[in-house]
């Protein structure tokens, strides 16, 4: 019997573990180590953050689902890897620290034959002074990164709405909390959902809403933007995004590195090197992401973290990490199998793998501050990568270590993205977009880097219906209800 340990129970980890458990059956063991007791459909957190959904609507308990799937579940966080074992054993193991109530703080080693690192990111609030400490959200801003954060965000939003109803004007500042953030899409959705809710509450005229982002142009989304077919034209997402901001009367500040946050005030530096301040009454800022801080040790106990992980804490995989100028970036730089180059029984999936470089053009202010989005690896790509990794590990277990590895390069896969701009069964809207491929391939698609037949976007009620249907569909799938394997990632 072989044992596969999956670190993380998010989109990538849950997909890997559940497919591996299904394909391997009871002959082998699948273990999930995740610090959370609940699964969270993160794309719907923005609706919790405006009071249109509850925490219960976007989460469910993991334990009964894993029990049904025959998966061994540890509510714990991984702290270190020993891929060669230690001085007393050749068996690789992962050290964990329980987070489960009643066992919190207890440590244990779990031996493995194969391991998949799908921990997701550390929400690195501590990278920006005043935004928070370590992975803990500070007191000056709110967040929608977790369901709990979103509940808190909605409480603050309702307070702001009450103030506006009482005649006090409010300034809303939404966007990214650092020059190296990713996940602009969540902030994009949240700012338009707030605008929609303020309109519904009849207080839109009492609100000043402003977007602040590390993107060098609106609509970059960490993917260097995209060109899509709209109304018979092929247009840049810049036009698409600017149009929506102008229509909703939301001002923007882009190319901005948030350097410090205080009570009611944000300090920033722009790409031209200038600095400034923005005051706010309500602010939601996405933190930068980092690896969760896993350490790695060799058999003799020496620290090999730098061998296994990139400096940002994400796990090295089969990407080309050679430093290159932007002009030399290639689609082929991106990983295909997500296997660690040093340890063949180790894989990474979703946000946890180290990308070879950004997708957006790297930029610095004259002061040397890097201000550009880091590449998104969430949602559909995370699920597809997780499934491909599960397939590879299952084949290695059943056919031997020489088995063919399955591939899921982000330079060869597309992604469907539905960004809500307001919730409502008849008055909601969302931008429904697809990109193909996620990482532009300028050798295959000279010009835009993507296939414009499969890269499109439009905004409307239909997009909202799709996002709403996907909410129920993916929670149904994640609960492993009948037919779950038929629903694509």
The footprint of other proteins (CB under 8 A) covers: 239, 242-243, 245-247, 249, 251-252, 380, 384, 387, 413-416, 426-427, 429, 432, 434, 436, 454, 456, 458-463, 465-466, 488-489
Nearer to other proteins, 308 or 394 (CB): 394
- 20: CB partners within 8 A, 6+ apart: 4, 6, 30, 390, 393, 394
**Min separation Cβ 22 and other proteins, Å:** 16
Report the alpha-carbon distance of residue 251 to residue 245 in Å, rounded: 7
Nearer to other proteins, 18 or 141 (CB): 18
**95 is written with which tokens?**
């050290």
**Min separation Cβ 391 and other proteins, Å:** 11
**430 is written with which tokens?**
């969302």
Contact between residue 186 and residue 145 where contact means Cβ atoms under 8 Å apart: yes
Do the bridges between strand 430-435 and strand 415-420 make them parallel or antiparallel, or are there none, so unpaired?
antiparallel
**67 is written with which tokens?**
């029990």
Report the alpha-carbon distance of residue 281 to residue 381 in Å, rounded: 36
Nearer to other proteins, 222 or 437 (CB): 437
Nearer to other proteins, 253 or 332 (CB): 253
Q: For 50, what's the count of Cα atoms within 13 Å in the CB-facing half-sphere?
A: 24
**380 is written with which tokens?**
């559909």
**Min separation Cβ 42 and other proteins, Å:** 19
Cα–Cα distances (Å) from 253 to 195, 213, 235, 268, 276, in that order, read 17, 6, 22, 10, 11
**Min separation Cβ 12 and other proteins, Å:** 15
Nearer to other proteins, 124 or 237 (CB): 237
Residues paired with 31 in a beta bridge: 5, 72
Nearer to other proteins, 108 or 208 (CB): 208
Report the alpha-carbon distance of residue 487 to residue 429 in Å, rounded: 24
**Min separation Cβ 218 and other proteins, Å:** 9
**Min separation Cβ 442 and other proteins, Å:** 19
**3-state class of 116 per DSSP?**
strand
**Min separation Cβ 53 and other proteins, Å:** 21
**252 is written with which tokens?**
């923007």
Q: Which helix (DSSP H) or strand (DSSP E) does residue 381 occupy?
A: helix 380-399
Nearer to other proteins, 131 or 430 (CB): 430
**Min separation Cβ 469 and other proteins, Å:** 9
Nearer to other proteins, 108 or 458 (CB): 458
């Amino acid at each position: 019997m072989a044992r596969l340990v999956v670190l993380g129970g998010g989109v990538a980890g849950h997909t890997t573990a559940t497919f591996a458990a299904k394909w391997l059956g009871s002959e082998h063991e699948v273990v999930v180590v995740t610090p959370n007791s609940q699964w969270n459909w993160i794309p719907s957190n923005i609706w919790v953050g405006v009071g249109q959904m509850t925490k219960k609507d976007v989460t469910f308990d993991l334990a009964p689902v894993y029990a049904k799937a025959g998966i061994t579940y540890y509510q714990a966080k991984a702290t270190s890897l020993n891929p060669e074992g230690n001085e007393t054993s050749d068996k690789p193991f992962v050290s964990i620290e329980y987070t489960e109530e009643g066992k919190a703080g207890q440590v244990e080693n779990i031996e493995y034959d194969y391991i998949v690192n799908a921990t997701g990111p550390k929400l690195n609030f501590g990278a920006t002074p005043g935004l928070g400490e370590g992975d803990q959200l500070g007191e000056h801003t709110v967040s929608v990164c977790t369901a709990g954060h979103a509940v808190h965000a909605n409480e603050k939003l309702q307070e702001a709405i009450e103030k506006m109803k009482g005649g006090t004007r409010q300034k809303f500042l939404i966007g990214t909390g650092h020059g190296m953030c990713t996940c602009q899409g969540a902030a994009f959705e949240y700012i338009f959902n707030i605008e929609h809710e303020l309109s519904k509450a009849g207080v839109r005229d009492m609100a000043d809403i402003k977007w602040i982002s590390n993107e060098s142009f609106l609509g970059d989304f960490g993917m260097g933007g995209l060109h899509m077919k709209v109304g018979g034209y092929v247009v840049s997402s810049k036009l698409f995004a600017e149009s929506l901001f102008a229509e909703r009367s939301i001002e923007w500040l882009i190319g901005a590195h948030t350097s410090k946050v205080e009570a009611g005030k944000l300090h920033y530096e722009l790409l031209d090197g200038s600095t400034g301040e923005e005051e706010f009454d309500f602010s939601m800022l996405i933190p930068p992401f980092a690896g969760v801080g896993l350490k790695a040790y060799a058999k003799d106990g020496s620290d090999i973290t730098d061998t296994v992980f990139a400096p940002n804490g994400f796990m090295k995989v089969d990407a080309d990490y050679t430093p290159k100028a932007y002009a030399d970036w290639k689609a082929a730089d991106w990983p295909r199998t997500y296997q660690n180059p040093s340890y063949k029984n180790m894989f990474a999936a979703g946000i946890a793998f180290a990308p070879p470089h950004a997708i957006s053009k790297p930029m610095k202010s004259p002061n040397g501050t890097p201000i550009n989005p880091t590449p998104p690896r969430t949602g559909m790509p995370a699920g597809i990568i997780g499934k491909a990794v599960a397939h590879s590990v299952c084949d290695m277990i059943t056919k031997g270590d020489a088995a063919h590895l399955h591939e899921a390069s982000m330079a060869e896969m597309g992604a469907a993205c539905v960004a809500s701009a307001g919730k409502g069964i008849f008055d909601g809207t969302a931008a429904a977009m697809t990109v193909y491929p996620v990482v532009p391939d300028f050798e295959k698609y000279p010009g835009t880097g993507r296939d414009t037949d499969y890269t499109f976007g439009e905004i409307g009620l239909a997009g909202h219906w799709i996002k709403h249907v996907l909410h129920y569909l993916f929670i149904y799938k994640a609960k492993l209800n009948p037919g779950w394997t038929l629903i694509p990632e």
